[in-house]
Structure 1
């Protein structure tokens, strides 16, 4: 039996060694567990930071796009308001152009005896006032006679042989005056072009 019995110091040392080993292993396990948990928490924290940075960048990008879109909208509305203000009376002024044409024809028919007839003088006075008022609103006549034909301002109603070579491609006659309203064509000048 003595052979099977272990010495007491051996047992105690062995027990201490086992406890230390177990405790050390436990501590290592605890430490490695903590490290693992700590590493997991760091990894989770890092991934959360990356996710949050991504989210912030995404929201910032969305904000900048919305701000830019709103700024473009504001500019467009401002430009449209300005354009509407400039051409607000376009329909009214366009409807008054035949009246201008009638005045022009009447004055041409008066001939040279304007000075002697007070009625004709009154009509010319009214016409000048009418034309001045429309000019103040932005109406201007398109110059056509004797200049090169320009499709941006002129509408050719006829082509005739040019009386002289320098009149080729130029406006020879104006059948109806054209007008601009604030640099926008509201009626093209109807012209005869030399060819």
Structure 2
């Protein structure tokens, strides 16, 4: 069953020092955003702390866990290694820590790519992952301020920035990210799209 102290112990044992600290910062940022936006802060805590729980110290160990636990990867997860930890983290939340809340599991699963029509909890975890205090990139201060006011607009702006970053670095782009970007474009720019 989920207990924060047990999760922290699991993360200390299985993640590197940076990823452990990042997980705590994402959890704290998610809880702060949950308070602002009227979302269950316990769910934000669970999803925030566990979002990267499947990002093991090595690629080999990550892929071995996928095999050991019989996780079926999607075509996109097989094409882009960075997407694998979403499925693995969701498995850990459900099967090791007994989390059954679909919203929490979806927030963990979709924190990498986003998706159209995300719940507020999903948006909060996605955004928290991108604006936690150790992040430092162009527009970060704008995104932090925006996140306190409008989750949909923040999703749109961060998705745009992520897609531009992936293109600049010649990286794989998940179709779900493109779908999410276009979805949030439509709902934030209603009446402006020609």
Say yes or no: TM over 0.5.
no
Normalised by the size of structure 2, how large is the TM-score? 0.22
The structure with the largest helix share of the pair is: 2
Normalised by the size of structure 1, how large is the TM-score? 0.22
Greater relative contact order (Cα < 8 A, sep 6+): 2
Greater Rg, structure 1 or structure 2?
1
The structure with the largest strand share of the pair is: 1
